[in-house]
Amino acid sequence: MASQIDAATLKRLIQEGQELAVLDAREEGEFGRSHLFWAVPCPLSKMEMRARTLLPRRDVPVVCVDGGEGYAARLAAYLEGIGCTKVSVLTGGTPGWVAAGYVAFSGVNVPSKAFGEWVEHHYETPSVDPGELKAMMDAGTDMVVLDSRPIDEFRRMTIPTAVNVPGGELVYRIGEFVTRPETTVVVNCAGRTRSILGAQSLRSAGIPNKVVALRNGTMGWELAGFACDRGRDVRYPEGTPAGLDDAFARADRFARRNGVQVTTRAELEKMRGDAKRTTYVLDVRDPAEYAAGHLYGSRSAPGGQLVQATDQWVAVRGARIVLVDDTGVRARMTGGWLRQLGGWDVYVLADGLEGRLEEGFWKPDCPEADAVKVPHVTVPELAVLAGEGAAQVVDLARSIDFRDGHIPGAMWGIRTRLDRLAGQITGDRQVVVAAPEEAQARLAAKELLGFARAPVKVLSGGTAAWKAAGFPLEADRTVPADADCADFYLRPYDRNSGIEEAMREYLSWEIDLVHEVEKDGDAPFGLWV
């Protein structure tokens, strides 16, 4: 049974800077209400698929946290069951941390977002407000607007005339968009962080152009009364850009200034065999490039998103992070920012894509799911069953994705809490589980078998396969209701009411993070370089 650790002891361990992971067992929406600064989400519903990846070394010290519900003890028991040897539970959870006089934070990806605000203050990153940008557009100013988010967010809404160039690609591909030093570059995101980091990446890399961030991003644009475009797909040209030599020189200077080291595959194998240090291997290219061929054992972590949401990939403070790409530009830029964010030794793998590579997307190692034997149903088979009224679908997609589109009539649920659907699941129709990942579906099927009175099967390929086969989807942004989205921390524009107020609150929250971080005292921004 895991031991208890009090808030004062945990605070001391965090400040000592040795390897340590703080894992929060709540769902993301619950986590976002109040949590420790360096806590990383590892919700019970996904712990079998996340824990091994977050903790490559099983004897690293791990502290499990929750909001006082008892989830942390369940996570701790699981971690000990997979071989973790130094697991403890924070006494009193996050409320106990606050009661001890320490700071708790709302929101998600807080270290990265706070770092973005620090970058703006530290580098005095210039910005323009939406009204200024609109006036520049109307005046025909020589400029480009580059949206630094992933393509799915770009499609949802973006600034008119913007081109999608995710943050990790900006220095690498800026020569595709800017050939004259007189051209102004405007970088935007949905709010602030990726706008600031994207703009400052170009400035720190030393491009000769005037570079500014769009203050408050698409949220600020809409709050100013301007309309966003939706459904656009204008993106950077694929392939190696023509300005590679200049981009590499700029990125290399940035990385060297910030203490990024270069290593080889031979050295990486030694790192992986080091029983005293944790090593993460992350491929910072576009996910499609990763799927076409990547280093065995690496995970896809597009550079801009890795800096924006480091806690999605890295849980251990003081660990080593090894970054992989093809030309070295994206890895060097990402590495420089991770060094400034602080707390890790960062390396660029010089020969990471030489030799034999693995194709396809990353899948979690999940022996618990592999052990579940459950029959599958194909999309055509489900279509027949649905047409006969002989199936009831349980969908495990993120609540926000379920709203966007699900198999008609499907029920939404969170694994480990599927018993809440017991009153809706009848015994006269087959239960079919649809999930984004096969492992998730198998584990959910096992849970459903514990109380469902009907046969349980898994839909091969999940809802994505249903959609790809051309079958219709049902969408309703009110289901589940905002209050029921425990699994996802809703962004202001995901809400069904009070959107403008939520946008203003969110932007104020981001701006104020700098002051909250100062109170907390555990963010080593800029201290490692």
Can you say how many angstroms the Cα of residue 16 is from the centroid of all Cα atoms in its chain? 27
Give the model confidence (pLDDT) of 111-148 as tens digits: 999 999 999 999 999 999 999 999 999 999 999 999 99
Helix axes 244-257, 193-205, angle to 10 degrees: 100
**CA–CA gap between residue 384 and residue 335 (Å, rounded):** 51
* Alpha helices for 258-328 (secondary structure H): 265-272, 287-292, 303-308
Give me the pLDDT at residue 81, please.
98
What is the average pLDDT score of the chain?
A: 97
Q: Which two tokens stand for residue 84?
A: 């973790």
Q: Enumerate the domain spans of the chain.
A: 3-108, 114-247, 250-349, 368-484
Q: Number of H helices and number of E strands within the chain?
A: 22, 21
Give me the pLDDT at residue 232, please.
96
- CATH H-level, domain 114-247: superfamily: Rhodanese-like domain (3.40.250.10)
- Mode of pairing for the β-strands spanning 279-283 and 316-317: unpaired
Alpha carbon distances (Å) from 500 to 172, 195, 219, 497? 35, 20, 9, 9
Give me the pLDDT at residue 1, please.
82
The per-residue DSSP string of 340-388 comes to: HH-S-EEEEETTTTSS--B-S------HHHHT----EE-HHHHHHHHHT
CATH 3.40.250.10 fits 250-349, yes or no: yes
Give me the pLDDT at residue 343, please.
80
- Spans in the chain with pLDDT lower than 50: none
Give me the pLDDT at residue 233, please.
94
Q: Which two tokens stand for residue 173?
A: 């591909």
Query: Given this chain, do its domains 114-247 and 368-484 carry the same CATH topology?
Result: yes
Give me the pLDDT at residue 403, please.
98
Burial readout 182-221 (b: 16 or more C-beta within 10 A, e: otherwise): eebbbbbbbbbbbbbbbbbbbbbbebebebbbbbbbbbbb
Give me the pLDDT at residue 464, please.
97
**CA–CA gap between residue 493 and residue 509 (Å, rounded):** 15
Pick the CATH number of 368-484 from 3.40.980.10, 1.10.510.10, 3.40.250.10, 1.20.1440.230: 3.40.250.10
Position 65, amino acid: V
Q: How many CA atoms lie within 13 A of 145 on its CB side?
A: 22
Q: How many CA atoms lie within 13 A of 525 on its CB side?
A: 23
* Alpha helices for 82-205 (secondary structure H): 93-99, 110-123, 130-138, 151-156, 170-173, 193-205
Give me the pLDDT at residue 415, please.
97
| Omega cis (within 30) before 364 | no
Q: Note whether 415 and 441 are within 8 A (CB).
A: no
The per-residue DSSP string of 114-138 comes to: HHHHHHHHHHT--EE-HHHHHHHHH
Which CATH class name applies to 3-108? alpha beta
Strands (DSSP E) found in 25-171: 40-41, 62-65, 87-90, 127-128, 143-147, 163-164
* Alpha helices for 206-328 (secondary structure H): 217-223, 244-257, 265-272, 287-292, 303-308
Give the model confidence (pLDDT) of 186-245 as tens digits: 999 999 999 999 999 999 999 999 999 999 999 999 999 999 999 999 999 999 998 999
Give me the pLDDT at residue 529, please.
66
| Residue whose tokens read 């701006």 | 511
The per-residue DSSP string of 407-472 comes to: -TTPEE--TT-GGGGTTT--SSSEEEEE-SSHHHHHHHHHHHHTT-SS-EEEETTHHHHHHHTT--
